[in-house]
Structure 1
């Protein structure tokens, strides 16, 4: 039995590998905008957990005897749910809007095993530093935050600009290891079953 990660995120892979797991990487490509549009005015936690499950559902048929994990993260800032900025310009705009503020990073998890699902969302409070314009522009130009929910990472260059967090740091990186452990326990499995 293997742990299959329905993601191409290097951060999620890193968390699992640091936790002793060599995951099977099977990125799932879904039309996130279509999924979000189909949810109408769903609560933000429902949006991220639905996206996580949609990713995992793509992968489950290929790995019927394994544990499949899908995740999705978005930032809730001033009542608006924000995904990846994708461009340098959008990243700069985001950072100018969020610097000095507090927001919630929501990470949805969908874990499948043996025909059963466990779906949950973790919320972590992020306090953004009051970064200078020059630092925001340099950070955006580095490319690191372009494909990250909320236009930041907790690790690497982003570590300069996050003043504090309240909650699970692994969920901010992209996959809550404590939540994954609890999901495995629900299936009668142990985290150590997957250690290399």
Structure 2
């Protein structure tokens, strides 16, 4: 069985990551979305092990001390992080696992797991990103400007990723990601054992 890939997916707010992931997960049952651990309390309707792994602060710090989380951050007094074991289990079963995280977390994962595949989702333009944020109709002008400023900073980090995908349409973006996953499985660095097997098979 071919081992699955670990994929770090990042991009600014409004780039369409959630819609792309929803479509990709529906289209390919072998693609899984990683589940984060958090110390915050569950909100109504949230299920442990489905939306998050809900843990105490002490449990989270112990996990991090043991090196069991790939990346972590503190936000509004709560810790968030990506447990490694469930991802490795999925990968061993042949599934590709996507970690949807921001660029700081992506850098942590890349440092710990250099063989992960980094994909950055770009909007077609900043102007289009602004239009999408405004079309949501859920945020103030000040909040929109803050998101646009943050997006410009995040996009600078796209150079640190292996691939960039422009989300001009969801269909095109999903197809591009599927092509990336297929190509990665044929890369030479993931097939040294296969090469050796052919050479040694008289």
TM-score normalised by structure 1 residue count: 0.34
Structure ID, larger Rg: 2
Greater strand share, structure number: 1
TM-score normalised by structure 2 residue count: 0.33
Larger RCO (CA under 8 A, 6+ residues apart): 2
